[in-house]
Structure 1
Amino acid sequence: MSIKILLIIPAYNEELNILKTYKSIIDYNSQHDSNYDVIVINDGSRDHTEEILVENNIPHIKLIHNLGIGGAVQTGYKYALLHNYDIAIQFDGDGQHDVNYIQSIISPIIHNKADMVIGSRFVEGSTSEFKSTRARQMGIKVISCFINLLTKKKIYDVTSGFRAINRSLITQFAMDYPLEYPEPISTTTILKQGKTVDEVPVKMKERLGGVSSIRSWKNVYYMINVLLSILIIGTRRGE
């Protein structure tokens, strides 16, 4: 029985990157006889992202308003649930993620060894030269330690948006997914629920154009709010 795999690509003002990202997946499918489906979630882009998607017949959903990364990705999970996908993969539209690592990310799910798998820059075996700024790396380490204290599970790349989930989590996330700080919050939530989360080494690239969804001036604000949100999960969802 074939496994249905969907790549969910949230895109906000990605006119410089989205076509190249999509073509990298199509080229991979052609060269490796794979069949990764794609859905781009155009999250209220104000540039030419929508025109590029339409002109190149790229499968996509156009959101009228910008929902943010959490709302955009949840839209993708709703689509995955509606169309009965077995695995859904969050894949950035900015060119940072490499399609060649998808097989490594989905392998633990296919073999029933994990419910979620995170593509990580920080675990042993990663050759990623791009690991974000020093300030963000420090914030990631702090959040990682906090999650470890509450869940007894060490997750190294807690903000990685290169993640795969199984059908059970597709159903869960389609119904309930954090709109703010979705990666660390959703990971903490499912760990508290007893789900299995694994990390595999990947290589990520620095975005060549566009703007990151996390601005430098927000770094401290982001980290404080993530820690508070994780603490709330630890106290209210400790079952």
Structure 2
Amino acid sequence: MAKIYLGLPAYNEEASIEPLFQRIQKYQDVTQTRLTIVVYDDGCRDRTKENVLTWNDRLEIIYLDGIVNKGLGEGMNSLLSEFVRRGQSEDLMVVMDCDDTHDPSQITEMLATLKRHPNTDVVIASRYRRGATISGVPFHRVLLSIGAACLYKMVHPAFHVRDYTCGYRAYTHGIAVKTLNAYPEPLLKERGFACMVELLLKCKHAGARFREIPLRLAYDNKLSASKMDVSGNTLRLLKRLISWRVRGLQ
């Protein structure tokens, strides 16, 4: 049977571990779906590690200790490399935020999408599909994200993709291998959330075929402080989009 790895990049998420892992355990119990949880510790300075490891007797956990904070890009590099090293051709890695804003039950929708469209390589939980729900996000950030998404689509069109930045995605083992082999190490050069756009575009250039499901985002579940400079990161990402268009992905 295919194995599902659940990748969780974490930075100071001690408050979110208990509610998130409770939901993961409930999902496993209800669906009888066994997950291997891979946590990447991006130099956490709180009790994230201790809180994760208390679940060792209830969940299958692989803990990658990054020691020093290097950003989301390094976390994604580590998670994808670990997946390629451990996984088999039929396996899947689902990556979601570690702050309890994403719903683990949507893994079922991702698996159903892969079954309906067997040639799919990446499934994205998208804010811009009918049926998506978003709670707890300030209105100005919603408008900013919609405007930015339209620009991403114009500059770097990808078939079946509307949401270029959401981190809740499922990757097949095959596309992870192809993408890592297509680029020199490290695969992702971007430190912040721009790495999610970089990864999507590099998957595309490696031949990935995409599908989207509507995202259920509960930002009001977030218990840890936001670590993202949204406007600053968005501006840097827009500059990168032009650079990638002119110079190509490196």
Match of 1:96, SS state, is coil
Residue of structure 1 in register with 2:225 after alignment: 211
Q: Aligned partners of 1:199, 1:192: CA distance in 2, in Å?
A: 18
Q: Aligned partners of 2:204, 2:142: CA distance in 1, in Å?
A: 22
Q: CA RMSD in A?
A: 2.2
CA displacement 1:137-177 (0-9 Å, x = unmatched): 23322332222223333743332111111113322248512
Residue of structure 1 in register with 2:208 after alignment: 195
CA contact (8 A) 1:42 1:63 kept: yes
1:15 CA drift (Å)? 0.7
Residue of structure 2 in register with 1:42 after alignment: 41
Percent same amino acid at aligned positions? 22
Q: Aligned partners of 1:47, 1:234: CA distance in 2, in Å?
A: 39
| Amino acid across the alignment from 1:4 | K
Q: So what's the TM-score if we normalise by structure 2? A: 0.83
Within the candidate set 224, 231, 234, 2:235 is matched to 224
CA contact (8 A) 1:147 1:155 kept: no
Q: Aligned partners of 2:103, 2:7: CA distance in 1, in Å?
A: 14
Aligned residue runs from structure 1 range 152-163, under 5 A: 152-153=157-158, 155-163=161-169
Q: Aligned partners of 2:162, 2:136: CA distance in 1, in Å?
A: 12
The answer to whether the aligner puts 1:82 opposite 2:95 as a matched pair is no
| Amino acid across the alignment from 1:7 | L
| Amino acid across the alignment from 2:70 | L
- Stretches of structure 2 that go unaligned for 5 or more consecutive residues are none
Q: So what's the TM-score if we normalise by structure 1? A: 0.87
1:192 CA drift (Å)? 4.7
Match of 1:88, SS state, is strand
CA displacement 1:115-135 (0-9 Å, x = unmatched): 211111221122x13273233
| Amino acid across the alignment from 1:63 | G
| Amino acid across the alignment from 1:74 | N
Aligned residue runs from structure 1 range 137-148, under 5 A: 137-148=142-153
- Stretches of structure 1 that go unaligned for 5 or more consecutive residues are none
